[in-house]
Chain A
Amino acid sequence: MARFRYIALLLVVVINSFAQHHHASEDNNTPAGKPIAIIIFMAVDCPVTQKYMNTIKSIALRYQGEISVTGYFPAGLTRKTEKQFRREYNIPDIISLVDDKAHQATEKFGATITPEVFLISESDKVLYSGAIDNWFFELGRYRVEITENYLLDAIEATKKGNMPPITRTEAVGCFIQKLKGNSTHQH
């Protein structure tokens, strides 16, 4: 009996670490885990980020107290610009804005675009990453009507313990400039 319990524990550990290193889509049998955080890479001067602020605000309000929303700024965010940005887009305090000039978060998540989202589970797994929805389909070109709400669909599915219908999309927006001396390739 003790031996069985030991094996079961081992199995859980193995599955967990597997899930952490692989993409959610690659192990469809594991329950996805509840979503607890949305990470969004942003740039103050990126027109696509700016246009999405309203959508981002409404998502943050909708899941307030349940899922946190944090914006990371790979091009940096000073106190002053944060203040201006918050005022201009009327961004509530439930959305945290974080300077990521050293690219700690950018590199951890492998973000390349602003806005690019990562939906994170309680076990620190990426449940969904990419575009918020299919509003923009090319730089400078956006749909008159949004027909796919990737992030919302992923949140709703994982809240119910299901896999997101789509786990990864290509974000459309501004390129994140890699730090000098970093050889990782930009797509």
Chain B
Amino acid sequence: MQQHVLCFVLIFSHAWCIGQTKPTYYKDIQPLLAKNCISCHKPGGIGPFSLQTYNEVAAKGNFIGHVTKTRYMPPWKADPDLQIFRNQTTLAQAEIDLIQKWLAAGMPKGKKSKSKSFSTSEQNIKPDLTLPMVTSYQLTDQAKEDFRFFVIPTNLTANTYIAAIEFVPGNRRQVHHSRVMVDSTQKIRGIDGMSELDPRVKEFQVIPLADEFLYGWVPGNTKIFFPPGTAKKIPQGADLILNIHYSPTSSIQKDQSVVNLYYAKTPVNREVKTLTLKESDIRNQPFFIEAERKPTFYMDYPVRNDLSLISIMPHMHFIGKSFLAYAITPAGEKIQLIKIDNWDFNWQTTYQFKQLIKIPAGSRIRVEAKYDNTSENPMNPNTPPKDIGYGWNSTDEMCNLVIYYLDYEPGDELIDY
């Protein structure tokens, strides 16, 4: 009798499953793409084409199946099993499978549902200070990679607290990534417009920055914003230093990117601080990568007081391979921070934690950063490989972990913002 019941349940659920196995564009695929792709793949978006209509999607069906299955799209480099981030864009395995099923079924269209709108709720607050690049820059059309520095004076007449920062690429197709630094000495202005390959860059590199990574932007990033009542300080008279990576183009393109600052409106009682783990925090010195070697560098940083982490940003250059960061508490507990298995220089970003993460005093923040300077690494900028040391140029190397944090206060883990 029991067996019969089981059998009945199985048949029933099986039939129910079959009922569910016919995905259609309007019922299943359109909402999925609207949530995960359209923010970039719309007319004027940073994606190379629009994926908003059935025809647009069906014309690239197999390609979409491929890029989602391989997790190349939507672009997201950090391992989602280890840590979930606020700005995360990944598909669940079930969603990837759903796309495959839809393709296998011949991409059925299904019925259009009643005026469902999928507009993403973007906050439309206006920036308080809009800082465009001083002049527009014209790229070479010789399909060459281009890394340039630009200086934008803020002309701030007082120290200013900002609640959010935003980078808006002038040329959405060519700006591949950018990094915003802050200089309070005004002594780096001469670097404006300079290519990374210019030997004079070295002269500026020795001047200590007020903020080495105010913000790291890759396509798809919107503004980074801080919990209410907290803000980041930009010193009076500071200059923003932009390091922009332009991807190669075969056509004539220009760029004049913009940094938007949003001032803190509520009283600021806590300052967002930056902790940067640098090459000097590496335990197995020297930070020098011999040709044909695949070294791992281990950073170890002792945490002296309780911290609440807001965001994290690993930074390596071309021959970086993988990056792992975690904290070990005095009680021996491991707190996972980030894991990137297949480092991609072109997609580095600020990863914002979903909730503030408490790192108690006495913990150690550890990093394992792997590099591959062999000829097997297609990202190797040198053929044959050369020894590589520290430097700002993308063909030199760096090993950084940039952390935005607050001094911990009880209840921080529960803040919902």
Contact = CB atoms under 8 A, between A and B. Distances in A.
Contacts of A45: 48-49
B142 interface: yes
Given A147-B383, A175-B66, A54 B59 contact: no
A143 B142 contact: no
Given A144-B145, A174-B63, A177-B62, A137 B250 contact: no
A88 interface: yes
A98 interface: no
Contact of A53 (B60, B61, B251, B318): B251
A177 B60 contact: yes
Contact of A177 (B61, B247, B251, B346): B61
A134 B63 CA distance: 21
Contacts of B346: 140-141
B48 A46 contact: yes
A22 interface: no
Nearest to B50: A45
A54 B250 contact: yes
Given A47-B48, A143-B379, A88 B143 contact: no
B66 A51 contact: no
A109 interface: no
A180 B143 contact: no
A142 B247 CA distance: 10
Interface residues of B, number: 34
Contacts of B72: 139-140
Contacts of A134: 378
Contacts of A89: 250-251
Contacts of A47: 48
B382 interface: yes
A75 B247 CA distance: 25
A174 B61 CA distance: 11
B380 interface: yes
A137 B248 contact: no
A75 B248 CA distance: 24
Contacts of A137: 378
A55 B346 CA distance: 22
B249 interface: yes
Contact of B381 (A55, A144, A174): A144
B106 interface: yes
Interface in B136-157: 141-143, 145
Interface in A43-70: 45-47, 50-55, 57
A183 to B, nearest CB: 11
A98 B346 CA distance: 33
Contact of A55 (B143, B249, B379): B143
Interface in B329-355: 344, 346
B395 interface: yes
Contacts of B106: 180
Given A46-B48, A144-B380, A51 B143 contact: yes
B250 A50 contact: yes
Contacts of B197: none
Interface string A77-93: 00000000000111000
Interface string B17-52: 000000000000000000000000000000011000
Contact of B248 (A51, A57, A88, A177): A51
B157 to A, nearest CB: 43
Interface string B117-147: 0000000000000000000000001110100
Contacts of B67: 139
A134 B379 CA distance: 12
Interface string A131-156: 00010010111111101000000000
Nearest to B248: A51
A51 B62 CA distance: 22
Nearest to A52: B250
A75 B381 contact: no
A23 interface: no
A58 B289 CA distance: 36
Contacts of A178: 62
Interface string B275-290: 0000000000000000
A29 interface: no
A46 B49 CA distance: 8
Given A51-B249, A88-B251, A144 B395 contact: yes
Nearest to A75: B59
Nearest to A46: B48
A29 B72 CA distance: 43
Nearest to B382: A145
A162 to B, nearest CB: 25
Interface of B: 48-49, 58-63, 66-67, 70, 72, 75, 106, 141-143, 145, 247-252, 318, 344, 346, 378-383, 395
The 9 closest A-B pairs by CB, nearest first: A54-B250, A175-B63, A53-B250, A54-B143, A144-B381, A45-B49, A137-B378, A47-B48, A88-B251
19 contacts: A47-B48, A50-B249, A51-B247, A51-B249, A54-B142, A54-B248, A75-B59, A90-B141, A90-B251, A134-B378, A144-B380, A144-B395, A147-B383, A174-B60, A175-B62, A175-B63, A177-B58, A177-B60, A178-B62
